[in-house]
Structure 1
Amino acid sequence: MLPQPSAPPGIQHVRPSANDHRMITGPSASAARRHRRSRSRSDRRRPPAIAGSPSGTAADSGTDDDRRAGRMCSGRRRPPREGVLDMDTMVLEHSQVAPGPGQDDERGTELMERLAAAAATGGSALAAAQDDVIQYYLPVAGRIARRYSRRGAPVDDLEQQARLGLVQAVQRWQPDRAPSFLAYAVPTIEGSVKRWFRDHLTMVRRPRATQEAAPLIRRAREELAHSLGREPDDHEVAARAGVALEQVRESDRAGVTCNPVSLESQLLPDALVGAGDGRLERVEIRRDLASAWTVLTLRERRVLSLHFWDDLSQAAVGEMIGVSQMQVSRIISKAVGKLSAELSVA
């Protein structure tokens, strides 16, 4: 036990009894009772001293836990000890591991600088730099694929298509035209995923052989229509696409069967009984459009193809050809005006 303090000279030290508080009245009585209750609670919380421990270190772990719990309950924070990360810091650093669309971080910028330097030399250095960029930006392709998976398509197929778009973006990226790689890569990846929907997502699933032959047949039909100035027959399409004649006919049947017209869709007047052959009408449209296409410059043709066929935004098209988004908008307006004027004359 600690020694009792000695009383000053001339004053006798008297130890108060347990009932002395009853003799105190007035405001000092309330203060005394509050003081005693506070000391009583402190004594109950304080664990017994550990034998052999130095003064002031008895059961420090228990009191530290009490203080820590009190700070957590009161909402106050204590700065972390040196060398120890708190939870918020760990979550923040983990969220910055994989870059997201629209975010060029320091690591990504370093990789793109290596790619730009390797592009000048080529060879194995270029292939290695491209592989590093692709591996680093794979999370971006995965996020884009998962965003489009809500439309009912298989996630694995969309991720594969998104990664294909990422590879194409890395191979086609030109730093002098598109300083920000992600600003160019994200529209390219999205366009690749959209093309997958255009080629594969139908109401009735077609056989795999028909699905694989469909883009070849469609491209061959368009090229022949442009070069011949008329709608090619099935034999010509099969020879140009390098597929069997039966596959061409099966693809045409699947295009009608797997994409039926909704019963609730509004019918146009020319879709009623007595309407002309739709294929003949498409031949005329293709012929007129092929003739009007020749009035456009090479730059206008490329801009229209990138914007309407590859589904690229005007900003992405501008980065590819080295102009601003406003200039791309003007080029598109001018080209469409030329086509409209030419088709109206025809």
Structure 2
Amino acid sequence: MSKSTAGSASEPGQAAYENIEPWFEQLAALAAEDPERAALRAEIVHRCLPLAANIARRFANRGQELEDLTQIARLGLMNAVDRFDISQGRPFLAFAIPTIMGEVRRHFRDHSWAVRVPRGLKELQQRLGPAIDDLTHRLGRGPTAREIAAELDLELTEVTQALVARNAYAADSLDAQYPSDEQGSSPSIRDTLGGVEPLYGLLEDAMTVRPLIAALPDRERRVLIMRFWENRSQAEIGRLIGCSQMQVSRILTATLDSLRTQAMAEPPPIRRRSVA
């Protein structure tokens, strides 16, 4: 396949990276020492630069310069290009997007901790990112907390705490000034804040407990979903799972107490494997 043949795969109005697989097929056909390989790789990266820019913009306004985020996203793009295996039969975007986003998130984790995070969790972040990228490539989807724990040979609780801690990104001062507007005024972030949106708190709570819910036993997780997602009554849930309304109430109370305790608990020390 020639370069012109690969390039013809994109249709009018379609981003150059949305049908990039033919380029990877051509790249895979070239020997490592082939002088055309470097030029073809550079062309693939060039076509996918808008993807890196789009992902960088998603992380803007979090205390980091967009130009710096774009450079980090481009580094993630190059890693994705070098590690993508066309023989797996998966689209490049399914692998590239989580890989690039993972690179940007690692940048925030390593350089922008806005709140106090235990040293052990910071150290675990160095292993967490690469493991998630590798599992995403192998599984063709984002891995669960249990799969990550198995990959790293860690306790599920350790991984869950580390995933929750990933939200400790940079925080801007409320007194920071925005650039001057057309009227010449420079409002602070505090001046632009509106009323408190209660749904934001619910969203943050949901993101925090999501990996904990995924680790629940099947019955407890099913009861929780039927009660709070399907809005079923306790009596109806009891009929569906074959127990009394009182038993359902006890299951819900115990489950919610357990989730609250795990979410608020201090993480255990990271268990290190001994080297033989």
TM range (shorter): 0.3 to 0.5
Q: Which has the higher contact order (CA 8 A, sep 6+)?
A: 2
Q: TM-score, normalization: structure 1?
A: 0.35
Larger-gyration structure (1/2): 1
Q: TM-score, normalization: structure 2?
A: 0.42
